[in-house]
Each structure stands twice: as C-alpha cells, then as structure tokens.
Structure 1
Amino acid sequence: MNTQKKAAQTRFIVAVSLFAAALISALALTALGNRTDSYWVAKNALAPGVEISGDQIEQIKVALGESSSRYFSSRTTLIGSFITRAQSAGELISIDDVSDLAPSQRTQQVPIAVRSSDLPIDISIGEAINIYWVPEPSMGGVQIGMPEIVVQSAYIRSIDRKSANFSSDIALTISLIDSQIINLLDATVSGRLVIVRALE
C-alpha cells in the first residue's frame, strides 16, 4: 500500500508540475506578445525624397509582436535618411521605405540600344562608362547641333551582343543615378548614343 501511495503522490506531483510549467509558459508568451515598444511614426504626411528631420517624426508605443522587425524602433536614428514612399501622418515607418541615399544618388537600371559601332568592341559588364549624344545629319547632310555628354560615371549592367545578329543594334542595361535618367531618355528620341569607356 505504501508503494502504491507513494507512486500516486509522485504522479500527482509530476502532473501539478507539468500544469504549472504550461501555465507559466502561456503567461510568458502572452506577456511577450503584448509587450509594447517605441517605434517611429510620421508626425505629418511625408513625400518621397524628403530628408527626415527631428520635427517630422515622433515616437509611439505599440505592441507589434512578430511584425516588429518590419519597422524602425526608437533605438534607430532616422534623422538624415530619406523617405522612398509617401507616408501618411501617424503611419509607422517601415524599413523598406527609408534609404540612406538621396534620390539623386540612388541608382536605377535603364535598357538602351546602341549601334554596334558606337561602343568599344571589348567593353564588358561592370565597366564604368560615359554616354554621349550625337545628332544625326539633316536631309541636306548638315549636322544640326554638337555632340554632348548626357551621362557620366554609369556602369554596364548587361550586354546582349546576340541582338546584333538580327539588327545593327546591341541591347545594353545601364546602371546610373536617378538624376541622369531623364537626360538619357531625352537623348534616345533622336540622334545616336555613343558609349565611351570612362577613364579611371
């Protein structure tokens, strides 16, 4: 009898211990999920490209749970960074919507086509280039305008030399800063683009 009684007591103690452990774990997870932390929000509506200053953002306390990694906590300094997507007043600032680079310094990839004779034959991916615009001669054979540089310090992202098998053009993808894109696109309306290897 004593042995059975001790076994029953042991089982009871184990059951109580397991129940207590489960209860404590549940309470801990609930407390962790409800824990609030400070995050940055837009104090006023912010337009893309705006440089963040101290009077444009403020801190609020909120419980984000598993989503917390998507937003900037107050421990992160945002002043001097740039907004890349429009923010509404009171909106939490996402890590995807802020860049350390000004819009004029961020790069984009732009596809262009140039004549096979208008780029160095041995140019390769990753090389720095300058792009010049050359006006086409008019009907009378007179060239209107002078060649001018339209893009500086761009980079070759890809070269499709196979495209020259079907035409005289070679397809390129150019990596360049945002502020030069309009000049490049304007230059494709008329005339030719000439790729020149940039001097280091």
Structure 2
Amino acid sequence: MVLDLGISNTQLNDPNRGFSFNNDGPLDMRMDNINTKLTAETIINEYDENELSDIFFYYGEERNSRKIANSIVEFRKKKKIDSTKMLSDIIQKINKYKFKHPATRVFQALRIVINEELNELEEALKISLEILTKNARIVIVAFHSLEDKIIKNFFKKKTITKILMMTRKTFLELLQKNLLIPSSEEIKINPRSKSAKLRVAEKI
C-alpha cells in the first residue's frame, strides 16, 4: 500500500482550486469541492482573530500567526478578502522571503483544516492494518512535519515489542531506521519533492 499525502499537481496548478499562492484564484482550497462546504474564503473572512491565529500556529507552525491574523482582520474591515493573491499580499507584509514563500505555512494550515487532512491520515493508518495481509508493506510519503509526526508515532506504537507479541495484536516491523528524503538530484528535477519524507513498514 502506498500513501502519497501530497496535493496533486493538477489541483495545485489549477488557479480555480485556490491552493496556490503563485497563481491568483478564488480562496477555495477544497479537495472535494462538491461535498465539502467550508472554504478558505469563509475562514479568512468570518473567523475571529484568535481562531485564525490558532489555525495558522497549530496547523501551519507559523511563528507570526498572531500578527498575520491581526492584519487579516484589519484588512477585511475595509474589503473582503476573496482571492489567493490578496491573502498572499497581506502575509508578505508580515513575512519576508527566506527559504520558503512567505505564505506557505498559512496556506498549508488552511488546506489542512478545510480538508480535515490529519483526521483523514489517522483514519487511513487505522484502516491499513485491517486490510493489509501478512508481510504486506505500507509506504507513506509525507510533505510536512505534522503528517510525519502522526506517521512516526503510529509506526512506533505498532512496532513489534514483547508486549505486543504477548497480547497477539497486529504489529509492524520498520524496514529502515531513518526516514528517506529526496536526493539533491531529485530535488533539481522535481523541486516540490524537497519536503518529502518517506517511511516504510511491513505487517507481521
């Protein structure tokens, strides 16, 4: 079983989906734009400053979460924020270019909340143990630390131990000591792979 947790290039490159700060488009960010009702536009324009700050901090690990939240609230008093460029411009007044685009963490946070990505990951991991047969392997590619932390803890919890053997519960065997990351050559070919982290385990 292979789980690639990254957003597809098709969605990312489509301005109408609102995932990218590189292309102007509506503040949407829904993976499933039919069944999911909550959009980034709703969050940005209707959530209060504390709620925005918490989302940016906990789901984007954004250090300037409170400053950005305050700027958003002040801006929307004058004009509705309804495009990715508008939001990105507000963020760039607080964050400056370093190794990542200034809006990366905020956009990540919004996408995670809207699509309940962390809950979906936890559910997928739980189901994987139920459907995988003995000696089957699960390969997971994560693209940010929140995802990788969930995967790491899940693998650690399910890794073979004497206690698990005694209780005869399903457990896993890790197939590498450390996570795998892309080489410099791969990053040159596919820059979006830079943050990828791969972990592998086998059902015993």
Q: Which structure has the bigger radius of gyration?
A: 1
TM-score range, shorter chain: under 0.3
> More relative contact order in 1 or in 2 (CA 8 Å, sep 6+)?
2
What TM-score do the two structures reach when normalised by structure 2? 0.23
What TM-score do the two structures reach when normalised by structure 1? 0.23
